[in-house]
């Protein structure tokens, strides 16, 4: 029975030495924690959505050891881009090189959408994009406005690829949070509502203080969940839509 899991921000660095425990003792040997926890819960027929900050690599060549690491874990991985994924390139190049290297379990989320198997006969749709700093953020500048506008376009292109049937859940995967607790609604959240998104997962925010800056729980018909690795104890989170969507609104 196929299940859907999520884990963002693994921040792998098998080629580039980038110890993560400078961000807290819980990050010590985090790749080993991820491996052990992942193998304990994810089955070969499952899907794992990974919205960004996959690798510290600067180029695709440098990223391959980290992508090989992920490919060796159970399940099909649906990978999005984060703000630190400098290795990210065109969809065709990533797909072609992954096939050439025999990495059959990797999928890349870029202006597209995927159908994920769910349960015994059901299915779930996945769309998403990177996102960016939101208007109103203290660091938001003129260049950020351009990137924000472009990310809205990319997200809508992905959502337009969804061709779901009635009753099929829709998950949106972003790297940046879609909104803030101070300003819970914006153009992006309006887009999520317009396309009927059921679950919106994101990462990027680490530590309790930062995590509290973004929406969490059920708001205006959408369940928001921070799936950054350190927020879920470095263990893929079960995204069973039947359980997540049925939770009461808060």
pLDDT digits 0-9 by tens, 140-178: 899 999 999 999 999 999 999 999 999 899 999 999 999
Phi-psi region of 223 (alpha: psi -120 to 50; beta: other; left: phi over 0): beta
Cα separation, 41 vs 74, in Å, equals 9
Question: Tens of pLDDT along 119-140?
Answer: 888 999 999 999 999 888 888 8
Residue pair 205/230 in contact by the 8 Å Cβ criterion:
no
Q: Is the model's pLDDT at 22 over the cut of 70?
A: no
Q: Which pLDDT value is given to residue 243? A: 66
pLDDT of 25-79, one tens digit each?
A: 787 888 999 999 999 999 999 999 999 999 999 999 999 999 999 999 999 999 9
pLDDT for 250 equals: 41
Cα three-residue angle 195-239-118, rounded to 5 degrees: 80
What pLDDT is stored for residue 180 in this prediction? 86
**pLDDT for the residue numbered 248:** 46
* Nearest alpha carbon to residue 6 among 57, 42, 39, 45: 42
**Cα–Cα dist 73/10, whole Å:** 13
**Residue 203, token pair as written in the block:** 């990462």
Sign of the C-alpha dihedral computed for residues 72, 74, 75 and 80 taken in this order: negative
Query: 245: pLDDT confidence band, cut at 50, 70 and 90?
Result: low
User: Strands of 199-202's sheet, edge to edge?
Assistant: 114-118, 122-129, 170-174, 199-202, 222-226, 217-219
Share of the chain above pLDDT 90, in %: 74
Task: Kindly report the CATH class assigned to 4-241.
Answer: alpha beta
In the predicted structure, residue 20 carries a pLDDT above the cut 70: no
């Amino acid at each position: 029975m196929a299940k859907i899991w999520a884990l963002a921000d693994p921040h792998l660095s098998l080629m580039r030495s980038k110890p993560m425990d400078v961000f807290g003792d819980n990050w010590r040997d985090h790749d080993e924690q991820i491996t052990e926890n992942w193998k304990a819960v994810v089955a070969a027929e499952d899907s794992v959505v990974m919205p960004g900050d996959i690798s510290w690599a600067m180029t695709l060549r440098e990223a391959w050891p980290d992508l090989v690491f992920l490919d060796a874990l159970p399940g099909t991985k649906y990978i999005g881009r984060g703000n630190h994924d400098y290795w990210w390139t065109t969809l065709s190049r990533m797909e072609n090189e992954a096939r050439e290297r025999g990495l059959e379990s990797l999928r890349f989320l870029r202006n597209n959408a995927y159908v994920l198997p769910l349960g015994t006969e059901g299915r779930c749709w996945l769309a998403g994009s990177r996102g960016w700093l939101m208007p109103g953020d203290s660091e938001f500048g003129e260049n950020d406005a351009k990137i924000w506008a472009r990310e809205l376009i990319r997200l809508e292109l992905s959502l337009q690829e969804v061709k779901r049937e009635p009753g099929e859940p829709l998950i949106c995967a972003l790297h940046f949070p879609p909104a803030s607790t101070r300003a819970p609604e914006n153009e992006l959240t309006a887009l999520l509502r317009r396309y009927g998104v059921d679950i919106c997962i994101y990462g990027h925010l680490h530590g309790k203080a930062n995590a509290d800056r973004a929406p969490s729980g059920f708001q205006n018909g959408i369940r928001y969940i921070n799936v950054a690795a350190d927020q879920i104890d470095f263990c893929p989170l079960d995204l069973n839509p039947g359980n997540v969507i049925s939770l009461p609104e808060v």
